[in-house]
Amino acid sequence: MQPLNGIRILDMTRALAGPYCTMMLGDLGADVIKIERPQVGDETRGWGPPFVGKPYGNYPGESAYFIAANRNKRSITVNIQSKEGQDLIKKLAGECDVFVENYRTGDLDKLGLGYNDLHKLHPKLIYCSVSGYGRTGPYAERPGYDAVLQAEGGMMSITGPADGALSRVGIPIIDITSGMFASTAILAALRARDLTGEGQLVDISLFDSHLALLTNVASNYLVGQKPPTRLGNAHPNLVPYDSFRARDTWFILGVANEKQWGILCDVLNRPEWKNDSRFESNRKRVENRTTVVDELNKIFSSENAEHWLNQLRKAGLPCGRINTVPEVFDLEHARAREMILETQHASAGTLKLVGFPYKLSNTPADVLKPPPMLGEHTDEVLKSLLNYSSEEINLLRDKKII
């Protein structure tokens, strides 16, 4: 038993933000039906290398990018540009609790598949729209891409070394967090429907998600009216909270309060720093950030990182190695937390997936379905949900509707 058993999602999303949202819901037990274009599918099927499995269509296999956000879904192909395809989507929406799409503003309205159209047909349907800039405002019709949003939303202005180039975050973090916000909002809308019996529109934008993600940095600006700057790996409000250079490599250390500062002074055999007017409070250390960091680097450079990490951990201070991606997936802790899962894929065989970040003791997430092949479940869904016969399905296929 999973918490979202009995909830069905009609997923008309592609790329990352929308698919990540629906994958989260599928992980928790929802039946996710992914609508894809015939012959082409979600464009991320071609975003590689790397690819796994056998070639099909125009693709040399299944892309790792597609695999990352599409487990626990059933794939069907529908040509939504055709009237019959649009009618098919409307029928399927009536069998679902949630409709999720990430088309550009107005595109689905032109096809009769916008919120107003589907809400009239199915008042209990929750309609989630994920877009670059939201469905209102002067930017509503702009396409939304993660890197562009990181630039326009301010993240690049605060990412990277203070004296280096502007940089985006190494993962599509705006897409991912938008998907997470969308899944949370959908769950809230489902709860609201329990109380009112009515569906509603959930409007999620990458732009809004980005501004929400700025959290403490945004608050620092809104309260203090001082534009934030790039600090590399440092923290805008805490010192020391940064990467430091040991004799052999870099590591991270975080000191979040005066007790921890005192412990660090003792570990480094610098008890006099506790009463040094430059360092005696976090506010003073922030004002004298460069001096604090320079003094610490002088000490840390005398020994290897593992020496300092052992000392710091023994004292209970937050610290860690700066691992590569292969190193982190090789950690015993990653295995203990089941953050690498395996499933059997129709073409690729045994497939490794990233594990679930949510651990529920009574209703755990599970991989019930591997990432689907394009159109793998078309016949199954049309027969089970809409009672289509094999002859009707073959006719739709002959007419290139599916």
- How does residue 1 score in pLDDT terms, banded at 50, 70 and 90? confident
pLDDT at 164: 83
Is the dihedral angle over the CA atoms 198, 36, 151, 234 positive or is it negative? Answer: positive
Q: Interior CA angle at 218 toward 202 and 133, to 5°?
A: 35
CB 402 within 8 A of CB 396: yes
- How does residue 282 score in pLDDT terms, banded at 50, 70 and 90? very high
- Please report, for the chain, the start and end positions of each structural domain, with discontinuous segments joined by +: 8-213+336-398, 241-245+250-321
Here the tokens at position 324 are 């590569």
pLDDT of 383 strictly over 90:
yes
Indicate the pairing of strand 8-12 with strand 31-36. Answer: parallel
pLDDT of 57 strictly over 90:
no
Mean pLDDT of 127-156: 94
**Lowest mean pLDDT across 51-60, 191-200, 212-221, 281-290:** 51-60
pLDDT at 109: 95
State the pTM of this model.
Answer: 0.93
Architecture of domain 8-213+336-398: 3-Layer(aba) Sandwich (3.40)
Q: Measuring CA to CA, which residue among 169, 153, 170 is closest to residue 210?
A: 153
* DSSP state at residue 372: P
Indicate the pairing of strand 8-12 with strand 98-101. Answer: parallel
Q: Is 314 left (phi over 0), alpha (psi -120 to 50) or beta?
A: alpha
Place of tokens 């960091």: 293
pLDDT at 56: 84
pLDDT of 192 strictly over 90:
yes
109 has catalytic annotation: no
Average pLDDT in the chain: 95
Which one of the listed residues 31, 146, 175, 242 is annotated catalytic?
175
- How does residue 359 score in pLDDT terms, banded at 50, 70 and 90? very high
Which residues fall within 8 angstroms of residue 285, CB to CB, at 6 or more apart?
239, 240, 261, 278, 279, 292
Indicate the pairing of strand 250-254 with strand 319-321. Answer: antiparallel
pLDDT tens digits for 224-271? 999 998 888 989 999 999 999 999 999 999 999 999 999 999 999 999
What residue type is 232 in one-letter code?
G
Mean pLDDT of 137-155: 93
* DSSP state at residue 359: -
Architecture of domain 241-245+250-321: 2-Layer Sandwich (3.30)
Classified as helix, coil or strand, 216 is helix
Alpha carbons 40 and 374: distance in angstroms, whole number? 8
How far is Cα of residue 65 from the mean position of the Cα atoms in its chain?
Answer: 13
pLDDT of 163 strictly over 90:
no
Alpha carbons 51 and 37: distance in angstroms, whole number? 20
**Among residues of the chain, what percentage have pLDDT more than 90?**
92
Looking at the chain, the number of H-run helices and the number of E-run strands are: 17, 13
pLDDT of 162 strictly over 90:
no
H helices present in 94-199, as ranges: 107-110, 115-121, 146-152, 173-196
